Amino acid sequence: MLILVLNSGSSSIKYKFFDMREDSEKLLDKGLAERIGDKIPSHKEAVNFILNKAGSKIDAVGHRVVHGGDRFSKSVLIDDNVIKAIEDFIELAPLHNPPSLVTINESRKILSGIPHVAVFDTAFYYDMPEYAYFYAIPYKFYEKYKIRKYGFHGTSHRYVSEQATRLLNRPLNELRLITCHLGNGCSITAVKNGRAIDTSMGFTPLEGLVMGTRSGDLDPAIIPYIMEKESINVNAVVDMLNKKSGLLGVSGLTNDMRELMQERSKNKRVKLALDIFIYRIKKYIGAYAGVMSGCDAIIFTGGIGENNPGLIDEICKGVISKDTKTLVIPTDEELMIARDTYRIAVQM
């Protein structure tokens, strides 16, 4: 079955084209339509460009969707109700869900006779316990606005958990895993018996670990304090926390881990930024091992997680027991999307 996977971001669409069979998975082509809004006028043209490249022999399409809110526990065949739900969650993911919708609508129009499947970043967290996803603010805000932890990067965390069971040769339902997705965005998830029971990103992808340009956890009282001192509005502070903080904000140099690692011994602020980055990950690992009464393996993935063995040693030093394994597993969200799409499409 020939499956096209479309992963739409705000200014690009990544795609991979697979030949999926019962006993094999083969990548046929991959690419990136980028600079949408500049070189390519809109997501609509980008979809047309990709579909032309893939040719007419597509049997099913898998779409990455960032926010499925509290509605989707797994990947689903797209119909009008699913489209409506993705539209409903635009408010919670204003940068991510709209480009996905354009991509889905356009490709469903062109390839109308084949299954289209939505794979949600949030679905892996659907089963988190209430006490893990609730914030301790007045209950009415959950009822009125659905304010809760949703979690993100779920497709990546799910993919590396499944790969880990193959490497460890143990079933997922017997394992306590801590999966660390460290890229430009960073998140960490506790996976107990195959179920994500907690994760560091929250209502939005701003919570949790220190990231390239995002602050991660902080005391919310800092926000009004900065607003008052700097005479800036709330949008400016949120923008600062998303785009000017994290490794970039503390180092004052860059959010690029390669450059930071080179400058670390020469630049005090770079050293501080990396110390905070590592310390925050250690704290989460400790917390998640605590709530799972131990941890069988810690998995690292993402551009930082896959390429920095020295950093991983520093993170793990002193926090894990000698029985805990450390694994580096390259993530492949598109392959995970292709697997889900295949599973759903063959049943039709």
Interface positions with ligand ADP (CB under 6 A): 183-185, 212, 256-258, 302-304, 307-308
Task: Check the CA dihedral 194-198-200-202 and report its sign.
Answer: positive
CA distance 283 to 54: 45
Identity of the amino acid at 153: H
Minimum separation from the CB atom of position 263 to ligand ADP (A): 12
Tokens of 38: 């500049």
Identify the H or E element spanning 8.
strand 2-8
Minimum separation from the CB atom of position 324 to ligand ADP (A): 24
Minimum separation from the CB atom of position 311 to ligand ADP (A): 8
Nearer to ligand ADP, 7 or 161 (CB): 7
- Integer Rg of the chain from CA: 20
CA distance 166 to 161: 9
From the candidates 121, 198, 332, 340, give the one annotated as an active-site residue. Answer: 121
Report helix, strand or coil for 26: strand
Nearer to ligand ADP, 95 or 236 (CB): 95
Identify the H or E element spanning 177.
strand 176-182
Report helix, strand or coil for 105: helix
Nearer to ligand ADP, 158 or 176 (CB): 158
Nearer to ligand ADP, 166 or 258 (CB): 258
Nearer to ligand ADP, 115 or 249 (CB): 249
CA distance 310 to 295: 21
Minimum separation from the CB atom of position 258 to ligand ADP (A): 4
Helix residue spans in 111-176 (DSSP H): 130-133, 140-145, 154-168
Counts of helices then strands in the chain (DSSP H, E): 14, 11
The reply to whether 121 belongs to the active site is yes
Minimum separation from the CB atom of position 146 to ligand ADP (A): 26
Nearest residue to ligand ADP, scored by beta-carbon proximity: 303
Helix residue spans in 59-139 (DSSP H): 80-88, 97-110, 130-133
Active site residues: 121
